[in-house]
Amino acid sequence: MNFIDLFAGAGGLSEGFIRMGFNPIAHVEMDRAACNTLLTRTVYHHVKNTSDFEKYVSYIKGEGITRGELYELLPEEKRRSVINLAIGDDTNERIFRCIDELKRDKSIDLIIGGPPCQAYSLVGRARDKNRMKGDPRNYLFQQYAKYLEYYQPEYFVFENVIGLLSAKAGNGEFYLKMMIDLFRKVGYITEYKIQEAKSFGVLQNRKRIILIGKKGNEGGFYPEFEKWNPHVTVAEVLNDLQPLQAGEGTFFASKYRPYRGEYLFKSHIRNGLDFTIQHIARPHTEQDKQIYRIAVEKWEKRERLDYNELSEDLKTHKNTDSFVDRFKVVVADRPYSQTIVAHISKDGHYYIHPDIEQNRSLTPREAARLQSFPDDFYFEGDTIKPSRTAAFKQIGNAVPPLMAEKIAMSIRQILLNR
């Protein structure tokens, strides 16, 4: 069962499909850092059951093996399977040629992926003075349709934010209707539902619209996904990690604290290694740490901090009418956190660690765990040097692998039944 991942990001959606036995022919992604992450994860899947796995382990520990040496473990075909190009009219023919060389005589059974969501996001529209009208990303679904038309997969899976339900073009037409009409024109019936990540065992309140398309004109095929309630709280993904102060930690190996639960293993977050990686906290100003302390103290009384309640010497923004919850504690004793989004790459104010003694925002590893990424999943930067900012951006933009796995399980069964 072969697939192509378009607008692949760091590969969260792909990770779930690979777990279910799907074979990635190609990942197409414009961001260099995300492509490096995809390649590093491709090495992981290629060597995980071989003697070369120790080299992967050494790499993510930062022990003497370079990224170039790591990628030499891959056959040339797999190195070329990550295509670092922006999808568009100027590049599609080149991308088609690359994928055609990779797939050879294989059929493409499935296309997955979703264009960048900023153009449809409610928050994106609120932040943009033009409410994202005229943004070229609004029409990237047209490029997606070209890949459907060219490769003719049996199915496709298209993920995006729920703001897509209300986003309109300049002429007042809903983008979602435009998508469905276009996909029908190229040969696909499309059905969709809103899915909640927390229904799949992800400890995060993340709602997304999942469109599934089927070749032909027969509807009524949208699958029922297997749900999982692990009956744990957010503390489960925080408590076995080393406590850190602001600015402390490492991009490489960090030992676990004692853990006696099951969730981290059942969710594939702890994957058999005796360490985690990229557990490194941002440095914070004394002003921010003072605000974080106030936010945690208020939450201990089950009160959220309103920005306007801060004393004038602690305020740094003139905007007191919107985003007044910009400082928010991640709740440890509830079954899910707030949504992890890409804005976490800019600051950590919306993701304050609940332990007042640590007095900081989340690390990339903590955010990745809330997204259900495995602890051995290494997020690369666009250069050789590790980048906390690049890691946060990729994590916030990703589809939770655990959610993707459950979607892939159902799609796999449909394809096998056919």
Mind telling me the catalytic residues? 117
CA 401 to chain CA mean position, Å: 8
Which of these, 167, 231, 168, lies nearest to 198 by C-alpha position?
Answer: 231
DSSP assignment of 169-190: -TTS-BHHHHHHHHHHHTTEEE
Please give the angle made by the CA atoms of 245, 380 and 68, to the nearest 5 degrees.
Answer: 130
DSSP assignment of 217-245: S----PPPPPPB-----GGGGTTTSPP--
- Gap between the Cα atoms of 117 and 102, Å rounded: 28
Which element (helix H / strand E) includes 351? none
Which of these, 238, 273, 219, 218, lies nearest to 370 by C-alpha position?
Answer: 238
Whether 201 and 225 have beta carbons less than 8 Å apart is answered as no
CA 214 vs CA 143, 245, 327, 412: distances in Å: 18, 50, 43, 13
Classify residue 168 by its DSSP letter.
Answer: B
Instruction: Report residue 315 as tokens.
Output: 């305020």
CA 63 vs CA 55, 58, 251, 253, 382: distances in Å: 9, 5, 12, 10, 20
SS3 337: strand
Classify residue 361 by its DSSP letter.
Answer: B
Whether 174 and 186 have beta carbons less than 8 Å apart is answered as no
CA 180 vs CA 118, 133, 186, 188, 339: distances in Å: 20, 20, 10, 8, 27
- Gap between the Cα atoms of 12 and 117, Å rounded: 15
